[in-house]
Amino acid sequence: MKISDKIFFWIVIFKLLLSGGIMKLRKSFAIVFCALFSLAANAAERDEFFWLGEMNKATAVINSEEGLLDKAVTPKIARGIEEVITNGSKPGAKRPKKVIAFEPLLIKAAGMDVTMLHIGRSSQDMHATYRAAILRDEALELMVSLSNTMQSLLDLAEKNKNTIVPNYTNGVAAQPNSYAHYLLGLLSAFRRDAERIENFYDRLNYCAMGTTVLNGTSWPLNRERMAHYLGFKAPVENAYDAGQFKSNDDAVEFSSILTSIALHVGTFIQDLSVQYAQPRPWILLQEGGENTYVSSAMPQKRNPGLMIRTRTNASRVISDAQQAVWLAHNIIPGMSDARNVEDTSGRVKETLAMLSQVRRVIAALKINPERALEELNSDWTASQEVADVFMRDYKLPFRVGHHIASEIVSYAKANGIKPADFPYSEVKRIYAEVIKKEYPQGNPLCPMPESQFKDTLNPVKIIQNRKTTGGPQPAELNKNLASMEKSIQSQLNWAKDNVATISNALQKLDGDFQKILPKEEAKKTDSH
């Protein structure tokens, strides 16, 4: 089975698990799927050598059929190409990455006639083509890994629809929220990253072959057919752009996507880290293994090693991604500083490792809903609701109601009073004082009864009573969870379809290449 077929197979299986709703298998399968994809891609060795071989195969097929290559020498040339590819696929064999190192192997295998393949070609357009092809595979691998991470977050959200937690703004506890709604916010950010991958892929997926150095060739090359054989959507439109600008743009744009993903990961990890400064956190990592470690000096400490490593990985992705910008900065067109395949692939590997770590963090999280609710009830994160109710139910201007709620909070904190214990007599007093000072035309008697005041400060009821589209209330939450599930499946479908497109194109090329091999060589290859 070819590697692209293996990738296709695993994506189909993953989709079946998702659609079947097998919740226990979902997360474990999602976590290993990225590893399977990565192992598959590595086994394929779709590196520079591979793509140079495919380009030579396509050139031999196209040019022989269109009269640009003498059909009398075509079988010998095809056999030489096959020999070089076969030798390079042997364990430990050298796999040249540049045209100038690949061509001598062809000459050795098929003689000088093989250089007729080089009509209308240059290392410029050939290297630009394999850079795009390799980056294309990596973009698909990144999409699958990101989708797996999103599925892990979605599974966690499904389990915590009724978990009410404090959310923070400016580093301070701000309002109660459903933990599922919070995670959907993070998922929305990752969904934009997935959209960026799709949009980038659409711009990336053009073939530079046939543009030679920068202004094309006098040979009537069939660039469209070449592009389709290699699985590209179409040829790059402008020959100068193909070799001088596009490869730099591709490297820089992809790095910006990696940066965005890493920024979202870093924010998530840092938000979790806030809890580790508290004496009684409401969310922690499961202790033991590689998740946490005990301080060498302070026996009470359980340091979140897994989170620290993940944050470090995110920072490393961001810092290394900026290298692409600086390498592409202040150079004349066509310079290769920013185009190194090894550099770009290294950034992708770092990002995949980071996402793998994120999935481990998600799997290790221990959430204590009771402790989260206790923290909410020990602080005044529900105080904005007091101002909202005064305005909504009693037509009091919002700013006046806001000042009343603010005075209640100031008094409570000065006297160490929790929301559930706040005396209603003080509510009436503060209300009257603020009305007389700021809104004298209003009635100084507090219209909100004590029972409603208590309900207004209840974090659970606040969430249940939300009316905002996209809010945390049950009906809206369930709708958004379903929408996110659909998005993740769509992302995997997109990856599957593009993998299939490349696979089908290369299979078509293989089939047509077999036809131009010497008959005995073709039979030998078929028997394999």
Q: What is the pLDDT of residues 42-70, one digit of tens each?
A: 445 899 999 999 999 999 999 999 999 99
Q: What is the pLDDT of residue 23?
A: 44
Tokens encoding 140: 């698909």
Q: What is the pLDDT of residue 289?
A: 80
pLDDT in tens, 68-102: 999 999 999 999 999 999 999 999 999 999 999 99
CB 522 within 8 A of CB 74: no
For the chain, the average pLDDT equals: 90
Q: What is the pLDDT of residue 172?
A: 80
Q: Given CA atoms 417, 421, 427, 428 in this order, what sign does their dihedral have?
A: negative
Kindly state the average pLDDT of the residues 287-297. Answer: 69
CB 178 within 8 A of CB 164: yes
3-state SS, residue 288: coil
pLDDT band at 24 (very low <50, low <70, confident <90, very high): very low
Q: What is the pLDDT of residue 521?
A: 59
Q: What is the pLDDT of residue 523?
A: 54
For the cut 80, the answer to whether the pLDDT of residue 376 exceeds it is yes
For the cut 90, the answer to whether the pLDDT of residue 203 exceeds it is yes
Q: What is the pLDDT of residue 294?
A: 59
Q: What is the pLDDT of residue 149?
A: 98
For the cut 80, the answer to whether the pLDDT of residue 281 exceeds it is yes
Kindly state the average pLDDT of the residues 93-122. Answer: 96
Tokens encoding 281: 């956190």
* φ, ψ for residue 365, nearest 5 deg: -65, 135
pLDDT in tens, 211-234: 999 999 999 999 999 999 999 999
Q: What is the pLDDT of residue 278?
A: 85
Q: What is the pLDDT of residue 9?
A: 52
Among 79-93, 285-299, 476-490, the least confident range = 285-299
For the cut 80, the answer to whether the pLDDT of residue 18 exceeds it is no
Q: What is the pLDDT of residue 382?
A: 85
CB 455 within 8 A of CB 382: no
Q: What is the pLDDT of residue 174?
A: 79
For the cut 60, the answer to whether the pLDDT of residue 5 exceeds it is no
Tokens encoding 264: 């979202």
Q: Identity (one letter) of the amino acid at 163?
A: T
Kindly state the average pLDDT of the residues 413-425. Answer: 94
Of all residues in the chain, the percent with pLDDT exceeding 70 is: 88
Q: What is the pLDDT of residue 519?
A: 79
Distances (CA, A) of 82 to 56, 261, 299, 514, 522: 10, 41, 64, 10, 10
Buried b (16+ CB within 10 A) or exposed e, 364-392: beebbeebbbebbbebbbbbbbbbbbbbe
* φ, ψ for residue 517, nearest 5 deg: -70, 155
